[in-house]
Structure 1
Amino acid sequence: MAKTNIRTPFFVFNPKSYLFGEGLLELVREADTLAEEFPISIFVTAPFADIAAVSSNSKNIIVTAQHLDGIYPDKGMGHVLPESLYEAGARAVFLNHAEKPLTLNGLAKAISRAAELEIITIVCADSIAEAKAITMLNPDIVLCEPSELIGTGKTSDESYVKETIEAVKSLNPNVLVMQAAGISTADDVYRTILLQADGVGCTSGIVKAKDPKKMLRDMVQATVKASNKNNK
């Protein structure tokens, strides 16, 4: 097995538990089309029970689990076994989200287990200090997202975005930095990528939009447009 290559800037569609079953698969198919059309990586998260269906209905997206536990095949009733996620088709995982926080020990074990299986780790940090600490655990991506801004429609200010990117890159330039707090429009996406974030993501801005497919496309196009401008 080999870890999936991440094409930056990347976009993460994280529907959490807003979507499941066929409703989720509709947007998965759209995301898969976009991932084939544009030269960036697109991650799509799925509830555990939907991961296999999402994987079998896509070819181009990076199927992403919402969590895993740092355990091995053995006892572990009620825990999320990394091997089961991999077998179902997950190639990335969110860790330490504000809605599923981990202890430092638990996070270290989860990152280590994901690395053994070449599963990409997207680890959430709600402050610059936490982003620095998490970077030392060698995740693939640090998601710098102040908890109080999640779902508010208010994005992190420019200074926070720049400070978190600098903080992470100064410790490990190979760790990618994602920004997602409060992202609700394509313009939010565009401005965030212009600030040199490696990636951006959205939940409610897409699932609560009048036309979720159009919003997803608009946000992906904004990601690409900002990247093109940065590279001029």
Structure 2
Amino acid sequence: MKQIIKPPFFEIGVKNFVYGDAVLEMAMAADEAAYRYDIDVLFIAPYTEIRRVAKNTTRLVILAPYMDILRPGRGMADVLPEAIQDAGARGVVINHCERPMSLPAIRQTIERANELDLLSFACADTIAEARAIAQLHPDIINPEPSDLIGTGSTSEIDYVQQSIHAVKTIYPDILVEQAAGITTGSQVYNLIYAGAEGVGAASGIFLAEDPITMMREMVSSVRRAYNDLQIVQ
């Protein structure tokens, strides 16, 4: 059965900032933070670490960074959906700016993920692209402007609210994350408070002086912002 993600959530993109034991160390710390603050933490693990992370954590929602749409059989060097699922992934990232895809390929990958009850986490570079991808009904859309990734500057609140509206008017059940340029807990707080259902970070965590402390700060900010938002609503 497909994993159900409940807002608010936080997403950690490992990319290739760390590898080996350092991935597992972050994963285990994130797993503890997910329990402590009672939020779902999505963990985009390198392929080589998916199984080990899955075996050593219980609360993390592990995503693969990409998959192909082939089926068991031939396909040297392709990423088999059944294989990432067997390793412990509960979903897959689609159309990240570092691995862009055409709309037909996005559609096929979402359909293939649905066959296996894998979450589809789709990235979009613009509001227009988010609107187009929303028509394909992924589980989560991350409308992050690629020119902000790694800059320390986050999307303006108007962009956040417009991108959420663009997706929700098509399918209200699609979860909308905000990411790109996030380097502090206060940025995480502001985005959740502005209406984002989830926030994600990669370089903002792994390039910090103390990555685990930064991750904990960001996860706690998700919970704090969401709780504060409930009070005023």
Shift of 1:7: 2.0
- CA deviation digits over 1:23-45, x for unaligned, max 9? 11111110011111122100111
Give the TM-score normalised by structure 1.
0.98
Question: Could you tell me how far apart the structure 2 residues matched to 1:25 and 1:217 are?
Answer: 15
> Residue 69 of structure 2 aligns to which amino acid in structure 1?
G
Aligned equivalents of 2:146 and 2:56: distance in 1? Answer: 32
Matched, 1:204 2:221: no
- Which residue is 1:186 aligned to? 185
Once superposed, what is the RMSD of the aligned Cα atoms?
0.8
1:73 lines up with 2:72 in the alignment: yes
Alignment partner, residue 60 of structure 2? 61
User: What letter corresponds to residue 83 of structure 2 in structure 1?
Assistant: S
**How far off is 1:103 after superposition?**
1.4
Counterpart secondary structure, 2:152: coil
Partner of 1:130: 129
| Secondary structure of 1:19's aligned partner | coil
> Residue in 2 aligned with 1:32?
31
1:99 Cα deviation after fit: 0.2
Residue 92 of structure 1 deviates from its aligned partner by: 1.5
Q: CA deviation at 1:74?
A: 2.5
Give the Cα separation in 1 of the matches to 2:45 and 2:38: 22
Alignment partners' CA distance in 2, 1:70 and 1:38: 36
Retained in 2: the 8 A contact 1:70–1:112? no
Distance of 1:128 and 1:139 partners within structure 2: 15
- Distance across 2 between alignment mates of 1:156 and 1:50: 31
**d(CA) in 2 for partners of 1:231, 1:39:** 15
Q: Distance in 1 between matches of 2:187 and 2:82?
A: 36
For residue 216 of structure 1, what is the aligned residue in structure 2?
215
Q: Which runs of 5+ in 2 are unaligned?
A: none
Runs of 4+ in 1 over 6 A off after TM superposition: none
Alignment of 1:88-127 (within 5 A): 88-127=87-126
| Matched residue SS, 1:200 | strand
Q: Is the 8 A contact 1:7 1:39 kept in 2?
A: no
Q: 1:75: how far off?
A: 2.1
Amino acid at match of 2:228: K
Identity within the alignment, %: 43
**Paired AA for residue 151 in structure 1:** G
AA in 2 matched with 1:214:
T
Count of aligned residue pairs for this structure pair: 231
For 1:61 and 1:226, the matched residues in 2 are separated by 21
